[in-house]
Amino acid sequence: MIELRLRELNMWRPLLAVLKALGVHWMLRKVIRRKIAILIYHNIVPDGDTPVQYLSPLVKESEFRRQIRYLKSAYHVLSMDELTEALTEGRQLPPNSVAITFDDAYANHCSLALPILKECDVPATFYMSTGFIGAGKLFWWDELEYMIMRFDEDRLSIEHDGGTLDLVLATEDDRIRALKQIARDVMKTATLDAGERFMSAVRAATGMDAYSDEYMMRNFVSMTSDMVGEMRAAGMRFGSHTVNHPILPNETREVQDREIRGTIDMLDTGRPLHFCYPNGSYNEDTVEILKQCGFVSAITTAIGYVVPGDDLFKLNRISARAEYNDFIMTLAGLQFVTARIDRLLKRNK
């Protein structure tokens, strides 16, 4: 991809600043004005912190404020209720409409994101895994990253299910590769039970306890029930992200049904039900169960805009970038322009 090559040459950020100064984002916004963007946020972190997350994107508090203020001034921010209602009824939405969504209902969504959303008077939808609300539990990817990135030896052997996974952790790049390998080849292909067995094996092999780390417990646990109530009182909406965040196609239909249906009592009473697929993964059983339970929409992690006629149970999203110019140009569609140029270049080779 052109974007990747530019990043490798360390030219991408300066180029983004030039393109923004030239007003390219305004021209792109006119081209895509009838397309709807659903933004994904994960973690919002304080400005004084310097964490690096490789499996769950971070946006610093000050950057988040800049982004939300920009959305307020340049876009029509609407709720998932408004978006799905208009799509269902075939009504045209205002140009450059955007919906803001958060995955996983982290506590920092309440402590850091909520004041900014209230300040700018914009709605957002938070997709929660209800089994984590008030439980003080870490999601597997945050705990795994803590253990792999902070383990103090150059090699790690994990005994699991009768075999051994040997990892080289000599450099930061080695650790990133190991982390992504585990996520891709183990955790994202596992059932809930198998995933927990593997995490137990990692804990045993590293001897590390993320739950004893104050920073982790302050920043990477889900909201409490009181936080959920505070956000509802402020007009924020909650959708389902299952009970325990399984990769749904890895589970039986019975487990999928339990994971979806078991969240309904904690969702917004008397309001449309919205769903977010963990890891963006689903199958025919998943969609069928959602419809049987009365959900009206489901969002994926597939990158793209939403247009009238799209399947409401396969809605695309766009990841909110951590850096301001990158955020603005990505939202305006620059990544899709560069992707199209790449395809043309490859076709003409």
Report the sign of the C-alpha dihedral through residues 266, 272, 277, 278, in that order: negative
Same-domain status, 177 and 227: no
Whether the CA torsion 197, 200, 206, 212 is positive or negative: it is: positive
83 within some domain = yes
Number of domains within the chain? 2
Which residues span the domain enclosing 199?
Answer: 140-215
Q: Is the CB of residue 144 less than 8 Å from the CB of residue 199?
A: yes
DSSP string for 328-344:
HHHHTTHHHHHHHHHHH
Predicted local distance difference test score (pLDDT) of residue 280? 96
Residue ranges of the chain whose pLDDT lies below 70: 1-33, 50-52, 335-349
- Give the pLDDT score at 288: 98
Q: What are phi and psi of 166, to 5 degrees?
A: -100, 125
CB of 79 within 8 A of CB of 123?
A: yes
Check whether residue 185 and residue 293 sit in a common domain: no
Asked if residue 113 and residue 129 are part of one domain, the reply reads: yes
Residue at which a domain ends, from 153, 183, 215? 215
In this prediction, residue 160 carries a pLDDT of 86
Predicted confidence (pLDDT) per residue in 14-56, tens digit: 655 655 555 655 556 655 667 899 999 999 999 887 666 777 7
What CA–CA distance (Å, rounded) separates 192 from 196?
6
pLDDT at 342: 53
Containing 323, the helix (H) or strand (E) segment is: none
**Which helix or strand (DSSP H or E) is residue 163 part of?**
strand 163-168
Tokens representing 244 are: 């325990």
CATH of the domain at 302: 3.20.20.370
For position 9, what pLDDT does the model report? 35
* CA 273 – CA 250 distance, rounded (Å): 23
- Beta-carbon neighbour count of residue 292 at 10 Å? 11
Whole-prediction pTM value? 0.89
Question: In terms of domains, do 319 and 253 share one?
Answer: yes
Determine what percent of the chain is predicted with pLDDT higher than 70: 85
Which pLDDT score is estimated for 322? 81
Per-residue pLDDT, 234: 97
Q: Enter the tokens of residue 272.
A: 């449309």
**126 and 234 share one domain:** yes
Same-domain check for residues 80 and 226: yes
